[in-house]
Amino acid sequence: MRLILIFLFIANCALCENQWSRLRGSNGSGVAEGSNPPIKLDLNNPTWKTPVSNGHSSPVLSNKLIFLTGTEDGQLTTYAFRKINGKLAWQSKLPNVNLERVHQANSPAAPTPITDDKYIFVYFGSFGMVCYDHTGKEQWQKRLPVPRTLYGTSSSPIEYNNLIILVIDDDNNLPNSRLSRSKIIALKKSDGSIAWETPRPFHRSGWSTPTLWNHGKKTELVVLGNGRLCGYTLPSGEEKWFISGFSRETISAPIIGNGMVFASASRRGGGGNLEIDPQPFWKSVIHYDSNGDRKLERKEMIGHFTFPFRPELPYDHPGYGMPLPKDEKQRNRRLDGIFGWIDKNRDGFWSEKEFIDNFSQGSGKPLLVAIKPGGKGDITESHLAWEHNRGIAEIPSPLFYENKIFMVRSGGILTALNATTGKSLYSERLGASGQYSASPVLANDHLYLASEAGVISVIKADNEMKIIHQQKLEEKVFVSPAFDENTIYIRSAKHLWAFRNIR
């Protein structure tokens, strides 16, 4: 009996150490070691389901609580729910502040909190950082400047020893590093005071969450930003190396595996392949051909028309195309520019040939890289193990597991690569199309993939794609699920769901 109790104690300690305490769990890997959630989700019989407010933060877990953030009556709010039954344990609203401007597909409550065994640390771009204990009692606040970004803040804080590290990249950045508004800040967990800051003079707004890279006796902070992947020495925060070649808009987080770091970004606009087929884009724009002559005139650019970035999405989806001003005069001026961009011969319409001949989508190249340790300075050539340029996701982060890298991109395409060589194992459609914002997560040798439409696909993490189960929830899903030892927690647009394996 004593041996059994000791075993259970050790097992419970292991589970405590592997809590899903930050975005995508341990070091942002997306992998829940030792977790055994249900593989098939019964929509009609969840363990529990509870209403939640609007927000795009992922759930994070302590032993007994689930934490997430949202907006309620225009106020930034932190919530704690009981894992056992989903009931609200407490909520805390911050004072009214001017909320940052965000894209329609984003939320002022997008960064995911981070928790330890006593406290939860919450970041809002419109406010700054706030710390609560697990009963909801506020410990400290740290007001921070609101960064100017293209789509709103989304980078989440991470923990390093007694510090909370946050990347704040800003479109108001200045080239002089001493005046740089883009920076990394390290806050002391005890009181929120700044331990150190590192300027990022070459970076404008970005949306990626950093990760920690342990190799040998060294720990580096790895940060993906516009155009560059950078490594910073810890605990000092001094920049050590960088990799160039990424596009302007970087969203996914770097991951670690096989002693290397992997980082990915699509081209601006979401393109995931080097070679682009213009036909789906032409099919999208010719949808607005009201007179049926198979040509597009400027006067036909009405309704939801914009230049398509992601033609697989519905025409009214906020991520479908180029954002246009709401002001009618500015909108028409922008549409005039778009029309002239394609209408090179100035005959007053787009033909299919003219559109295809002048088509381009986004800037930069889609890129997934594998980087070897030990570099200094510009290591773009010297420490590149391999790169891959096909099936690259725009928003979801990749996942490393058992020498394989998995990526899911919009359109419902799952790609698996050999992590040592970068060679493709497969790239296949899931049968669940549309936009993907949630990153892949894995438990018990199975990938859990969530489309924005709310389809949860469970895939065997193997060298061939094997769809084990698919379930459509009643609502959209924008964020990654969380795991504990036997449960998957899914945040949808209006609810938090728990599916527990009770066997």
**pLDDT score recorded for residue 114:** 98
CB of 203 closer than 8 Å to CB of 173: yes
For residue 67, count other CB atoms closer than 10 A to its CB: 26
493, pLDDT greater than 80: yes
Beta bridge partners of 441: 448
Q: How far apart are CA 477 and CA 490, in angstroms?
A: 8
**pLDDT score recorded for residue 363:** 62
**pLDDT score recorded for residue 275:** 72
Nearest by Cα to 303 from 285, 276, 319: 285
Share of the chain above pLDDT 70, in %: 93
Q: How many CA atoms lie within 13 A of 469 on its CB side?
A: 13
Residue 439 token pair: 């990153």
The model's pLDDT over 19-37, given as tens digits with 9 standing for 90+, comes to 799 999 999 999 999 999 9
Q: How far apart are CA 25 and CA 481, in angstroms?
A: 10
**Between the CA atoms of 386, 389, 395 and 396, what dihedral angle is there, to the nearest 10 degrees?**
-60
Q: How confident is the model at residue 177 (pLDDT cuts 50, 70, 90)?
A: very low
For the chain, give the mean pLDDT.
90
Weakest-pLDDT range from 237-241, 336-340, 400-404: 336-340
Which ranges of 173-289 does DSSP label H, i.e. alpha helix?
279-286
309, pLDDT greater than 70: yes
CB of 29 closer than 8 Å to CB of 256: yes
Weakest-pLDDT range from 244-248, 310-314, 378-382, 412-416: 310-314
The model's pLDDT over 181-196, given as tens digits with 9 standing for 90+, comes to 889 999 999 999 999 9
Integer-rounded Cα Rg, in Å, for the chain is 23
Q: How far apart are CA 492 and CA 480, in angstroms?
A: 10
Residue 426 token pair: 């497969």
Nearest by Cα to 433 from 314, 308, 286: 314
Q: How far apart are CA 9 and CA 15, in angstroms?
A: 10
Prediction pTM value: 0.87
**pLDDT score recorded for residue 203:** 85
The burial of 158, by beta-carbon neighbours within 10 Å (0-12 exposed, 13-18 middle, 19 or more buried), is given as buried
Query: Per residue in 85-123, is it b (16+ CB within 10 Å) or e — as a string?
Result: ebeebeebebeebebbebeebbbbbbbbbbbeeebbbbb
Backbone angles phi, psi at 497, to 5 degrees: -110, 145
Share of the chain above pLDDT 90, in %: 67
CB of 154 closer than 8 Å to CB of 251: yes
Pick the residue with more confidence: 16 or 146?
146
**pLDDT score recorded for residue 202:** 80
**pLDDT score recorded for residue 178:** 55
Nearest by Cα to 395 from 253, 182, 213: 253
274, pLDDT greater than 80: no
**Between the CA atoms of 216, 367, 201 and 26, what dihedral angle is there, to the nearest 10 degrees?**
-40
Question: Which domains are seen in the chain, by residue range?
Answer: 16-273+363-500 (2.130.10.10), 279-357 (1.10.238.10)
**pLDDT score recorded for residue 175:** 54
The model's pLDDT over 85-115, given as tens digits with 9 standing for 90+, comes to 999 999 999 999 999 988 888 899 999 999 9
Q: How far apart are CA 188 and CA 135, in angstroms?
A: 21
Residue 378 token pair: 């510009």
Helices and strands: H and E segment counts in the chain: 4, 36
Pick the residue with more confidence: 308 or 143?
143
HEC per residue, 163-192: EEEEEECCCCCCCCHHHCCCEEEEEECCCC
The model's pLDDT over 51-86, given as tens digits with 9 standing for 90+, comes to 999 999 999 999 999 999 999 989 999 999 999 999
266, pLDDT greater than 80: yes
CB of 464 closer than 8 Å to CB of 423: no
Q: How confident is the model at residue 361 (pLDDT cuts 50, 70, 90)?
A: low
